[in-house]
């Protein structure tokens, strides 16, 4: 069992001025990286509101929020982390489920036919999953392996990324021959022509319900944050989410 401990922390700036005090800062789970970028770009084009995205695992973002990171909204890969933030006084209102995610098995190795059976193939030395301690998609991947009674057979092949973004790096670079990631990744324009993937049956793991919460802070952007949240739940926002495979 191998762990990569490097923390992937991505900041995407959308809009003109990095220094604007009115810029929304959105903490988003790594599975939402490409979908949230599309949402933020559409929202900026519509309203002129500048948006900054901070991308990491849900668990790490939760830890940063509890330590006082100046984020305005938090889009998690589950419902547990936003609920915990709200219950400890960190949210302005109760969390809202904005999407349901889909787990996929993905490989960019040209000589590998993607299937569950390949996980026990001797040619597969490394299987990438997100760290289940901090990333809900990693938890789902472990549930799948255990449900199929494969976990013990492949546990020594597992390589853990700190987030889905790092898992994607392992798969794209072929540091891992195959791995579990989010459907939103393989449907993104950045990745749609890379490798092959199969969807994992939802019956093999708990539903991946994803929730968001508007965060309490002293930045004075609560109304702007609520407006962005409303946009995500609008027909335009939902159509963007659906295009990335969310339900």
pLDDT at 121 over 60: yes
Residue 89 CB contacts under 8 Å (≥ 6 apart), including other chains = 216
Q: Are residues 191 and 214 in the same domain?
A: no
Q: What's the whole-number mean pLDDT along residues 10-28?
A: 64
Q: Are residues 56 and 119 in the same domain?
A: no
Q: Work out the mean pLDDT of the chain and round it to a whole number.
A: 93
Q: Which tens digit of pLDDT belongs to each residue from 78-119?
A: 999 999 999 999 999 999 999 999 999 999 999 899 999 999
Domain annotation covers residue 93 = yes
Q: What's the whole-number mean pLDDT along residues 59-88?
A: 98
Q: Are residues 80 and 160 in the same domain?
A: no
> In angstroms, rounded to a whole number, what is the distance separating the alpha carbons of residues 45 and 19?
19
Q: Are residues 213 and 92 in the same domain?
A: yes
Q: Are residues 22 and 94 in the same domain?
A: yes
Q: What is the pLDDT of residue 6?
A: 37
Q: What is the pLDDT of residue 22?
A: 87
When divided into structural domains, the chain yields a total of 2
Q: Are residues 48 and 133 in the same domain?
A: no
Q: Which tens digit of pLDDT belongs to each residue from 182-203?
A: 999 999 998 989 999 999 999 9
Q: What's the whole-number mean pLDDT along residues 234-242?
A: 99
Structure tokens at 145: 């392996």
Q: Which tens digit of pLDDT belongs to each residue from 152-172?
A: 999 999 999 999 999 999 999
Q: What's the whole-number mean pLDDT along residues 10-21?
A: 45
* Binding site residue list for molybdate: 58, 164
* Binding site residue list: 58, 164
pLDDT at 49 over 70: yes
Q: What is the pLDDT of residue 127?
A: 99
Look up the domain containing 135 and give its range.
101-204
Q: Are residues 63 and 115 in the same domain?
A: no
pTM reported for the whole predicted model: 0.90
Q: Are residues 225 and 236 in the same domain?
A: yes
Q: What is the pLDDT of residue 11?
A: 45
Domain annotation covers residue 3 = no
Residue 44 CB contacts under 8 Å (≥ 6 apart), including other chains = 14, 15, 50, 51
The candidate with the shortest Cα–Cα distance to 182, out of 33, 2, 1, 9, is: 33
The candidate with the shortest Cα–Cα distance to 217, out of 64, 68, 87, is: 68
């Amino acid at each position: 069992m191998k762990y990569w401990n490097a923390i992937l922390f991505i900041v995407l700036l959308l809009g003109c001025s990095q220094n604007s005090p009115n810029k929304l800062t959105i903490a988003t789970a790594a599975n939402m990286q490409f979908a949230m970028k599309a949402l933020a770009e559409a929202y900026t084009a519509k309203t002129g509101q500048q948006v900054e995205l901070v991308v990491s695992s849900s668990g790490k973002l939760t830890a940063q929020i509890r330590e006082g990171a100046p984020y305005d909204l938090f889009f998690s890969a589950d419902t547990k982390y936003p609920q915990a933030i709200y219950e400890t006084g960190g949210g302005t209102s109760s969390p809202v489920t904005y999407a349901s995610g889909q787990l996929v098995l993905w490989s960019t190795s040209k000589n590998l036919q993607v299937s569950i059976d390949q996980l026990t193939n001797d040619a597969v030395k490394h299987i990438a999953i997100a760290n289940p301690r901090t990333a809900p998609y990693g938890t789902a991947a472990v549930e799948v392996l255990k449900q199929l009674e494969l976990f013990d057979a492949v546990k020594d092949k597992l390589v853990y990324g700190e987030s889905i973004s790092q898992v994607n790096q392992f798969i794209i670079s072929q540091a891992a021959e195959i791995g579990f990631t989010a459907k939103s990744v393989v449907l993104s324009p950045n990745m749609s022509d890379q490798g092959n993937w199969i969807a994992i049956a939802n019956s093999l793991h708990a539903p991946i319900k994803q929730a968001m919460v508007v965060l309490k802070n002293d930045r004075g952007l609560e109304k702007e944050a609520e407006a962005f949240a409303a946009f995500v739940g609008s027909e335009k926002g939902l159509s963007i989410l659906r295009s990335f495979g969310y339900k």
